[in-house]
């Protein structure tokens, strides 16, 4: 969970827009996209000819001149074992201090990568005169990373999230189909990423959907793709993913909806939690829904309402008061444990 604005705001991203960082126009487009988080890429999306100084110059210019609003801003350097990694990191850390929030580390092999990067950031923050602390998200892209995901997630207090990277993971496994039926074919890997992230108190982000709607696509074809995006993301949300990567702004609206409770769900959750506290807790049946509730199900509803707060659909103080009532009795505030509150 990103902590921004001097600790006053937390962001659990529903949508993380990834785009090539060597192209200034792409940065400008990203700044206007309806997403929670942007990730400018030095790595896979950057052509060979722009690796090194060309992409670094553009990245620093974008970070220091473009207003990204309230979005979380991150950068993905080339991986730690790449000859470009150190130069990428030095360029942005020394050229754009306090102008972005985090680093997304690709091809994470294990916790040692995170420890190394965190120590390197300590030095670069001092050298660059940073007033804020850079946060980290790690991509889980290999079988080795998956089985060490919890260790990766707990390797540094800079860590805020784990991201499942389906393309490299598919390549490592030798799986050819990674778009259709992906929530079934990669169910174990996705939910293992979720479990590791939540055990470490981090957010979990699903992979990008790799099919885009062409400008000349007929409406029936476009609708098939939209429905596939929705199905993938609703399924991922049901596994516990907090959000997803998107590779184009056209995917943002559906993705945001998939990880945000709707108005009816929010009102029902509020009614249930309020009624539960009014009757004194314990095991109750809500008269409006006929559903059974106890402390465990109420915790789940508090987490749902936390997503509503993140989406700007519910007042943070209202949720805090509900959570405090549960904490007073149980000694357990799920929003604090799962880092859903600042």
Cβ–Cβ < 8 Å for 246, 15: yes
The mean pLDDT value for 134-145 works out to 97
The answer to whether domain 2-258 has CATH 1.20.1090.10 is no
Q: What is the mean pLDDT of the chain?
A: 94
Range of lowest pLDDT (84-88, 162-166, 295-299): 295-299
The mean pLDDT value for 155-173 works out to 96
The mean pLDDT value for 222-232 works out to 96
Please tell me whether the overall predicted TM-score, pTM, comes out greater than 0.85 for this model: yes
Provide the terminal-to-terminal Cα distance of the chain, rounded to the nearest Å: 9
Under the banding of pLDDT at 50, 70 and 90, the label for residue 65 is: very high
Under the banding of pLDDT at 50, 70 and 90, the label for residue 342 is: low
Question: How many Å apart are CA 182 and CA 166, to the nearest integer?
Answer: 9
Question: How many Å apart are CA 161 and CA 153, to the nearest integer?
Answer: 7
The mean pLDDT value for 52-79 works out to 97
For residues 342 and 120, the model is more confident at 120
The mean pLDDT value for 1-26 works out to 93
Q: Distances from the Cα of 57 to the Cαs of 65, 134, 220, 246, in angstroms?
A: 12, 20, 42, 25
pLDDT at 52: 95
Residue 84 scores a pLDDT above 90: yes
Under the banding of pLDDT at 50, 70 and 90, the label for residue 338 is: confident
Q: Tell me, letter by letter, the H, E, C secondary structure of 154-209.
A: CCCCCEEEEEECHHHHHHHHCCCCCCCCHHHHCHHHHHHHHHHHHHCCCEEEECCC
Q: What is the pLDDT of residues 166-209, one digit of tens each?
A: 999 999 999 888 888 999 999 999 999 999 999 999 999 999 99
Helices (H), the chain: 24-31, 53-65, 85-95, 111-128, 143-147, 149-153, 166-173, 182-185, 187-199, 219-239, 252-258, 263-278, 295-310, 316-330, 334-337
Range of lowest pLDDT (51-55, 214-218, 337-341): 337-341
pLDDT at 328: 85
pLDDT at 63: 98
pLDDT at 197: 97
How is the chain split into domains, by residue range?
2-258, 263-337
Q: What is the pLDDT of residues 238-297, one digit of tens each?
A: 999 999 999 999 999 999 999 999 999 999 999 999 999 899 888 999 988 899 999 899
């Amino acid at each position: 969970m990103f902590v921004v604005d001097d600790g006053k705001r937390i962001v659990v991203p529903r949508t993380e827009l990834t785009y090539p960082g060597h192209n200034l126009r792409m940065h400008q487009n990203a700044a206007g996209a309806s997403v929670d988080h942007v990730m400018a890429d030095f790595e896979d999306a950057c052509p060979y000819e722009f690796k090194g100084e060309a992409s670094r110059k553009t990245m620093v210019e974008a970070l220091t001149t473009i207003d990204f609003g309230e979005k979380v801003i991150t950068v993905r350097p080339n991986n730690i074992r790449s000859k470009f990694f150190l130069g990428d990191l030095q360029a942005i850390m020394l050229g754009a201090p306090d102008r972005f929030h985090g680093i997304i580390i690709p091809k994470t092999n294990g916790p040692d990568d995170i420890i190394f990067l965190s120590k390197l950031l300590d030095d670069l923050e001092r050298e660059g005169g940073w007033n804020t602390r850079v946060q980290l998200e790690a991509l889980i892209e290999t079988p080795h990373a998956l089985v060490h995901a919890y260790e990766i997630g707990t390797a540094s207090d800079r860590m805020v999230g784990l991201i499942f990277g389906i393309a490299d993971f598919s390549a490592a496994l030798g799986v050819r189909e990674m778009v259709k039926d992906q929530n079934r074919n990669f169910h174990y890997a996705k939910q293992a990423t979720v479990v590791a992230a939540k055990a470490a108190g981090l957010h979990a982000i699903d992979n990008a959907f790799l099919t885009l709607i062409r400008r000349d696509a007929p409406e029936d074809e476009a609708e098939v793709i939209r429905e596939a995006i929705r199905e993938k993301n609703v399924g991922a949300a049901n596994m516990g993913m907090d959000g997803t990567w998107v590779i184009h702004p056209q995917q943002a609206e559906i993705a945001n909806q998939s990880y945000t409770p709707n108005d009816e769900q929010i009102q029902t959750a509020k009614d249930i939690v309020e009624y539960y506290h009014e009757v004194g807790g314990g095991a109750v049946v809500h008269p409006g829904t006929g559903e059974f509730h106890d402390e465990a199900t109420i915790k789940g509803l508090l987490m749902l309402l936390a997503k509503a707060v993140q989406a700007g659909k519910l007042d943070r103080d209202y949720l805090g008061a509900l959570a405090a009532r549960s904490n007073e009795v149980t000694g357990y505030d799920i929003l604090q444990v799962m880092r859903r509150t600042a």
